[in-house]
Copies of this chain bind each other. A is one copy, B any other.
Amino acid sequence: MSIKTLEFSLEKIAADLVNGDRRSLARALSIVEDGGDEAAWLVRRLFPYAGRAHLIGITGPPGVGKSTLVDALISQIRSDGLKVGVLAIDPSSPFSGGAILGDRIRMQGHTLDKNVFIRSMANRGHSGGTALATYDAVRMMEAAGNQVVIIETVGVGQSELAIAETADTTVLVLMPGSGDDVQAIKSGIMEIGDVFVVNKGDLPGANKTASEILASLELSNRGQAWKQPVQVTNAETNQNVNAVWLSIQEHKKYLDESNQLTERRKRRVESELTELVADIARKNLKDSLEHSSGVQSVLQKMLRQEMDPHCAAEAVMEDLFGKSRQPAVE
């Protein structure tokens, strides 16, 4: 396909997407997931339409019922008349087990609703790929007019967690008695939650878990303006899910009224820029591995144990970019 034809076809996708065409949104999401020049073109074209949705991150250990909760939350969001997109970030592991496909199919209860768009994104093995693709996928969702975008991290890796954490509102989902609650408290990830959910509230110990979380939050939380609420739910039977949605909306209101929304979006943009820059460096090196004799010579020295990797990396940066380090102060 010639560049002109390609641009014409991308322009059609972009225009139709802005008009709410679901097939174009699906196409656009595939394109940004694949990355490359077409993705960059689409993002450049649709960037002005992005940055408007309320981004909700849903995270937590496997098996706590995140997908069921998302399913129930969609109903709440829809009953407020809002258009919602869901990005389910699938495990970065090839050993994914069998639950995910079932979860996705369960959420298909909403497929007849034109104002709900659900999409799974897999990590295609691209280093840093899921995170970067997710930022762009959110933009596609926003350009298509979704007022709420839920980012559910099905995976349990650090990068999936980082994605959930850069949302405007992060919901941390736990369940009673799994020990994960204590684990979470200990490992200091409590601070990433803006709203806490103890799901599977019909299991014994749900209220005890909720009190433990509350106690731990009170200790770490002195002086903060936002007091993180802890909701006990049973997403399966829809119990108390409306309270979760109310908490999420209250958090959004808090973000709007404080300067926190800007602060969070600044942090998100910084993270994205950092990963994009790392990715450019990585791609430049990959190109040079084949073509640059300077890089090849460094590689050979490493293999002959004549040059250590840190020196080698500095030498390669020199070769690629002319200098390896910017003076810290201008």
Contacts and interface: CB of A to CB of B under 8 A. Distances in A.
Interface stretch (A21-29, A204-212, A222-230, A319-327): A319-327
Contact of A48 (B161, B183, B305): B305
Interface string A309-325: 11111101100111111
A305 B94 contact: no
B285 A273 contact: yes
A270 B284 contact: no
Given A321-B321, A324-B280, A303 B269 contact: yes
Interface string A281-317: 1101111110111000011001101001111111011
A279 interface: yes
Contacts of A157: 92-93, 155-159
Contact of A273 (B183, B291, B309): B309
A293 B262 CA distance: 19
Interface centre among A44, A92, A188, A309 (most CB of B within 10 A): A309
Contacts of A95: 60-62, 156, 180, 183-184
A38 to B, nearest CB: 11
A100 to B, nearest CB: 11
A8 interface: no
Given A44-B308, A93-B158, A291-B330, A302 B273 contact: yes
A215 interface: no
Nearest to A312: B273
User: What is the oligomeric copy number?
Assistant: 2
B328 A180 contact: no
A40 interface: yes
A256 to B, nearest CB: 16
A261 to B, nearest CB: 11
Interface in A185-222: 187-189
A163 interface: no
A328 B316 CA distance: 14
A278 interface: yes
Nearest to A189: B94
Contacts of A118: none
Nearest to A290: B328
A179 B98 contact: yes
A265 interface: yes
Given A280-B317, A281-B281, A284-B325, 4 more contacts: A40-B310, A94-B188, A278-B279, A279-B313
20 contacts: A40-B310, A43-B310, A50-B305, A92-B159, A94-B188, A95-B156, A96-B183, A127-B278, A157-B157, A262-B303, A270-B299, A277-B313, A277-B320, A278-B279, A280-B313, A280-B317, A287-B328, A292-B326, A321-B323, A322-B323
Which 10 A/B pairs are nearest by Cβ-Cβ distance?
A: A321-B321, A276-B313, A281-B281, A61-B95, A93-B156, A278-B278, A47-B308, A157-B157, A92-B158, A40-B310
